[in-house]
Amino acid sequence: MSETPYQFTDRRGLPKASLYRELHTEFTGLVGTRWLANCANLSSLLYQHLPDLNWAGFYLADESSHLRLGPFHGLPACLDIPISRGVCGAAARTREIQIVPDVEQFPGHIACDARSRSEIVLPILLHRGRTNEKLLGVLDLDSPLPNRFDNMDAEGLQLLIDVLVEKSKWPSRWSDVL
């Protein structure tokens, strides 16, 4: 595991918790019911406002064992990720947030952008924690710096995903749209 310390520096000097609160307010004001527009806007908000990212976006879980590329900001990325592979696959399989401080130490990491050094991937779950819980996809954030993400990122991003999941109307069958 890499020991390089990461110093979070917001453009306006905001502490990380305040930045996530602002993003939450902004996204709550922006969100509608269309899942595609909401995912596009959230990937834009994150990419524009969170420092030290080289990729922010969605992979969606259709009825196959693959994750399909959704709205994102950053370099063009892999179209499909088998659920058995990569950090995104691990988040989808385990339905748990994955924080990877050094992608080179993660077996099976998929390098869509060779600059990525660390990443965080959160599962997106409809009816989270209930018996009818359903995996909708994952949110993937990549950084060119090691150790970029911590539990505060996980908490802030989870609150944004909660807004996304609650407000969006999701398709009943992904295979019709992906």
Which residues contribute to the site for ligand SME (CB under 6 A)?
55, 77-78, 81, 86-88, 109-110, 112-113, 116, 119, 140, 142
Minimal distance, residue 97 CB to ligand SME, in Å: 13
Name beta bridge partners: 50: none
Give the CA distances from residue 62 to residues 25, 87, 100, 126, 176, in Å, rounded to whole numbers and listed in that order. 30, 17, 25, 14, 9
Q: Which two tokens stand for residue 158?
A: 């989870």
Distance CA 26, CA 28 (A): 5
Q: Which residue's Cβ lies closest to ligand SME?
A: 86
CB of 32 to ligand SME, least distance (A): 25
Min dist CB 55 to ligand SME, Å, is 5
* 3-state SS class at 36: helix
User: Of the two residues 31 and 59, which places its CB atom closer to ligand SME in the complex?
Assistant: 59
Min dist. Cβ of residue 31 to ligand SME (A): 23
Specify the residue, 31 or 74, whose C-beta has the smaller distance to ligand SME.
74
CA distance 42 to 161: 9
To ligand SME, the closest distance from the beta carbon of 61 in angstroms equals 13
When the beta carbons of 120 and 160 are compared against ligand SME, the nearer one is 120
Element (H, E) at 87: helix 86-94
Total Cβ atoms within 10 A of residue 154? 15
Residue closer to ligand SME, measured from CB, 79 or 177: 79
Beta carbon nearer to ligand SME, 31 or 39: 39
Q: Mention every residue, 6+ apart, whose C-beta is less than 8 A from residue 89.
A: 67, 81, 82, 83, 108
